[in-house]
Amino acid sequence: MTDHPLARTIFAWAEAEQVVESTSDQYCPTRDVLRARLDGAVIFLNRLHYPEGISDILNALLSEIGGNSFDHNLARWKDIPGVCFAKEFFEASGIFVLADRGQGIRTTLQRVVPSIRTDEEALHVAFLERISGRAPEHRGNGLKFVRQTIMEDGIDLFFQSGTATYSINHAQETWQSAKRGIPGCFAILSYARP
């Protein structure tokens, strides 16, 4: 997944020290722009006769991951607000890439769990425990929902924040550390018809 050209392009945008230009059809400065592009993607998926459940589930997963970027980085973006969203899909498979230039999972969660020391620890907490980065608000379910849904529905995931990576391939989970870190978050969802 991470070798796909779209993934490399979006990762480079997320990783760059200085903000680099992204194409206008990928950069979503606001939540509404992302929503409109997700709606457009679902229309195309339905035209390609993706199973209705799968297009709806992809829509929900991308909305949760992208929504997290806006929820947790309000007024705290590294430089520019928003996310980059890229997609490519054919009749039998599709790939969807999202990234932000925000603070990342560790910085967000350290506000409520100061004992978190590493990106890897933070990613575990984000996907496995119901703790919100916006306490005292009672929230923090988004990535747990993403994990549970992907484990059930035959979609693959790669997620990175800082140097920590988490992936689900055919319902097998892998937690690793990457050599090249990013300050914000980077996610790839892919689906292939069985």
Interface residues toward other proteins, by CB under 8 A: 31, 35, 39, 52-53, 56-57, 59-60, 63-64, 67, 70-71, 130, 138-139, 141-142, 144-145, 148-149
Burial of 35 (0-12, 13-18, 19+ CB in 10 A): middle
In whole angstroms, the minimum distance from the beta carbon of 70 to other proteins comes to 8
The tokens describing 174, both together, are 């892998």
Cα radius of gyration (the chain)? 16
The whole-angstrom separation of Cα 33 and Cα 77 is 17
The tokens describing 107, both together, are 């910085």
Q: Which is nearer to other proteins, 20 or 36 (CB)?
A: 36
Q: Which is nearer to other proteins, 111 or 134 (CB)?
A: 134
In whole angstroms, the minimum distance from the beta carbon of 77 to other proteins comes to 17
The whole-angstrom separation of Cα 159 and Cα 157 is 6
In whole angstroms, the minimum distance from the beta carbon of 141 to other proteins comes to 5
Q: Which is nearer to other proteins, 138 or 179 (CB)?
A: 138
Query: Which residue matches tokens 């939540």?
Result: 31
In whole angstroms, the minimum distance from the beta carbon of 46 to other proteins comes to 10
Classified as helix, coil or strand, 157 is: strand
Q: Which is nearer to other proteins, 30 or 118 (CB)?
A: 30
